[in-house]
Structure 1
């Protein structure tokens, strides 16, 4: 009994001692702090308490204010470490001094290494660097106001290796590596993103309420915690009931449509390239695959491209994988011994709640064998392609699942309040903003939103010189499924593209801000995949922008138009650098009537020469380039291969 009492007394003393100083979640062992700038360290303590920091053989003190808040700014330091910091009774060790980057936005910044691994298998398998640390902000929302701190996270200053990076941002992973190679100093990567979120969710209330009062009123609607809780509970109950009804009524479950011996001869034959099913419920597909003796029994990987929407996939009656939504590539491992010589059956159970069930073209559909079966760059050497033909049968047809939208992460200010504001004033080297897909439906206010976001973040950090790299939207259009061969590239008719309008907003904001740069990636997308996989190349474009912003302003980025004139019926655009010569595509010209027409163009040195298609009685007034959701034909490139941004400019006559 005496030992138990002593134990609880000791535990109580430890708790009391630890309660004197509370640090934000960012301050943990293994952290990276910014070189070359004052480093704020802050937290909470008892009101009036003196807080002492011991770091690098020096001590610093502060007194907690009436609310218990305190802050100490450590002086500028050179890169180095590891160091140990003590703050009262707390100790933080393995601290490095180097560069810290904040990456934020929606899902493309958060696409994990796991997703892109087949593109870079050898590099990821063999990479480890204790000088690069990874921190992932835990998703959270707040409709009431700003918070003091973020939630605890599982990725808290982990060193860079395959295991730690697997669930981490691929862009962040490759950016940390690139900046370490460039500067040879420790790198801290903070990723703070949420898929599908609009820019409004990341902007402060103060920045929005004057010009966009209805956005702020929308937040107020969700400030009733009782309403939000009750609606979420109702949604969960509706989902459980819908799933139970589906499971109980699906004949594919009742009659075991996954079995190899099941007779599917009466099912409808469909071709995956021109098939879709609009309905709510389940649809079942089966394909027979013949496996020869050499491949029978071997472990393999089934690639099913990308599917809409949810699938559960079986091989010879055994479930080998499932994916809960449309975006992830389907890569399902086949265990040793499951494939047999002769007939094998792949069965897909689609579960659909909205839209049209379909396969995405331009993706791999095959069974891969061998040690390189996880690679897709290059593709595995030993593969058995799947057929485009499937047998199809409708399973359970269901009514729509009732629900009320309480996606708080999409409400204005909620992410700024919960996961952005609490990070300040942690010292940073720069910010990456990679977002916009969720705002393409209404791109008109995006430029103003982006200015407000950058302004509110800089105010939050009290640093009006905070560098921003804006990652422009990649090329994407799920409707355009054919990549045209070059040089026979058709001139598609001009369209008023929402994606191009948003890219233009990003371009204009970057151009108007001396502490911002634009990373142009309109050649790194995939026409049918909103989450393109070439994230290493995206990170390299971002790093070039930071090179120019922070280290060498002579670095050349994407070509830009610096002057325009009309002469002898031709339009001459002068660029800031030479470009690759030859015929150019996707230029359009409009006159006073605003109607755009395709125009022929060629490159010579640092000029683009455009033959105006307008009749002689019209003067060219506006010129556009790459003004499409998916400008796959756009080919203006710097001598180093960087693509030019899409644009719309008025011509100087």
Structure 2
């Protein structure tokens, strides 16, 4: 493996000859990978039950673990300083699964002009800003699928974050063949099937009329569609657990934008679900407030309510929201200016995760409104230098409403 990123050497000791099997690593470990600096590094994989597996990085000490009866092993390597610097990218293929997968077929790639175009655009500009500022290697894991909803990316346990998601939680439990709920319902169906089979045999012998076979319960059908709850988490996120991460960035919402305030609860389910499986405490989570776009003949008030739902998710500890209203295109659901989007996410990370000083990571945020004579006075946070418009003209798109009146332009 390339030592400039990290050298991971696997050694076997006290292997059992009769049961010896190749030591295997998940694909998240490979040539050109970037391992997290300054924190313990989980390394895991598979081998024959009872085999002792030793892992070391470079000239560091080896750490050993005994492979379980299920053929799994895991070690925790000590924290290490940064090497590099480089930018590396791991692209996760678009696949789905009805149950959590252990591995995914992907490989790390070195950032270079010939391949950078295949990287996640927002992620690349995010990583480039961190790389330029911190002067350390940056590893980007791109697990994404355009146009998908938030539910497919959420772990099953995440849906317990809010009572409003109880129906999704129940649906996931019934469709998962490992759960008691699924087994109980399947047992009921098999009992019904057995009774029908007995009736069918009797009808065959007597020539009696027989009702059709009861259909398979639709709630037991596995959730493997790319818009089904948990299907993308199972196939594209779970194989990465517990790879040491510094944080996550999230740019999604168009497919959920008609749900209003419910999206706040779904965001909490995603964040708390990921944090629950990674066991890294309040794993930083920075996300993008979706850009303005005219969704056909949709009521123009639908999108602002969704923006409020996204903003409300900032109440979740360890999160931050990048606003991109000024770089969007109302006629393009995917604004082409990815550079500013990635940079604004990076500014959040620099301030909130890396403790950067003298860095502004937010635009003006509404704080309060109060009457001031015949006027209404607005106060904003993150506006220390005052508010100005890009063209020097009076601000537009501000409207006011009073009791018994409709919205009118504010002047």
TM-score range, shorter chain: 0.7 to 0.9
Is the 8 Å Cα contact of residues 149 and 227 (structure 2) preserved in structure 1?
A: yes
TM-superposed deviation, 1:52: 0.2
Where in structure 2 are there 5+ consecutive unaligned residues?
1-17, 178-222
1:146 to 86, 92, 100: 100
Deviations 1:591-621 (A, max 9, x none): 456x6513425xxxxxxxxxxxxxxxxxxxx
Q: Which residue is equivalent to 1:523? A: 326
TM-superposed deviation, 1:62: 1.2
Q: Which residue is equivalent to 2:65? A: 62
Flag as ranges the 4+ runs of structure 1 deviating above 4 A: 216-224
Matched, 1:418 2:238: no
Aligned length, in residue pairs:
337
**Counterpart-to-counterpart distance in 1, 2:112 and 2:273:** 34
TM-superposed deviation, 1:68: 2.3
Secondary structure of 1:163 counterpart: coil
**Counterpart-to-counterpart distance in 2, 1:39 and 1:444:** 38
Q: Which residue is equivalent to 1:436? A: 253
In structure 2, relative to structure 1, the CA distance for the partners of 1:26 and 1:194 (3 Å cut) is same
**Counterpart-to-counterpart distance in 2, 1:142 and 1:563:** 46
Q: Which residue is equivalent to 2:44? A: 42
Secondary structure of 2:396 counterpart: strand
Q: Which residue is equivalent to 2:313? A: 509
**Counterpart-to-counterpart distance in 2, 1:205 and 1:451:** 13
Is the 8 Å Cα contact of residues 201 and 410 (structure 1) preserved in structure 2?
A: yes
Moved more, 42-51 or 449-458: 42-51
Matched, 1:600 2:404: no
**Counterpart-to-counterpart distance in 1, 2:242 and 2:357:** 27
Structure number with the higher helix fraction is 2
Is the 8 Å Cα contact of residues 45 and 73 (structure 2) preserved in structure 1?
A: yes
**Counterpart-to-counterpart distance in 2, 1:59 and 1:471:** 41
Secondary structure of 2:53 counterpart: strand
**Counterpart-to-counterpart distance in 1, 2:94 and 2:175:** 18
**Counterpart-to-counterpart distance in 1, 2:380 and 2:358:** 15
Q: Which residue is equivalent to 2:214? A: none
Is the 8 Å Cα contact of residues 49 and 63 (structure 1) preserved in structure 2?
A: yes
**Counterpart-to-counterpart distance in 2, 1:425 and 1:447:** 26
Give the structure with higher Rg (CA).
1
Is the 8 Å Cα contact of residues 19 and 49 (structure 2) preserved in structure 1?
A: no
**Counterpart-to-counterpart distance in 1, 2:171 and 2:238:** 20
Is the 8 Å Cα contact of residues 96 and 224 (structure 2) preserved in structure 1?
A: no
Structural RMSD (CA): 2.6
**Counterpart-to-counterpart distance in 1, 2:394 and 2:265:** 36
Where in structure 1 are there 5+ consecutive unaligned residues?
1-15, 82-97, 99-130, 225-405, 481-494, 602-653
TM-superposed deviation, 1:187: 1.0
Secondary structure of 1:465 counterpart: coil
Q: Which residue is equivalent to 1:552? A: 356
TM-score, normalization: structure 1? 0.48
Q: Which residue is equivalent to 1:499? A: 303
**Counterpart-to-counterpart distance in 2, 1:187 and 1:413:** 28
Is the 8 Å Cα contact of residues 475 and 525 (structure 1) preserved in structure 2?
A: yes
2:108 to 157, 161, 174: 157
**Counterpart-to-counterpart distance in 2, 1:175 and 1:56:** 29
Q: Which residue is equivalent to 1:374? A: none
Matched, 1:206 2:157: yes
Deviations 1:281-338 (A, max 9, x none): xxxxxxxxxxxxxxxxxxxxxxxxxxxxxxxxxxxxxxxxxxxxxxxxxxxxxxxxxx
**Counterpart-to-counterpart distance in 1, 2:409 and 2:32:** 56
TM-superposed deviation, 1:216: 4.3
Secondary structure of 1:572 counterpart: strand
1:33 to 18, 32, 35: 35
TM-score, normalization: structure 2? 0.75
Secondary structure of 1:171 counterpart: helix
**Counterpart-to-counterpart distance in 2, 1:207 and 1:465:** 14
Secondary structure of 1:33 counterpart: coil
Is the 8 Å Cα contact of residues 584 and 600 (structure 1) preserved in structure 2?
A: no
Is the 8 Å Cα contact of residues 224 and 231 (structure 2) preserved in structure 1?
A: no
Q: Which residue is equivalent to 2:89? A: 134
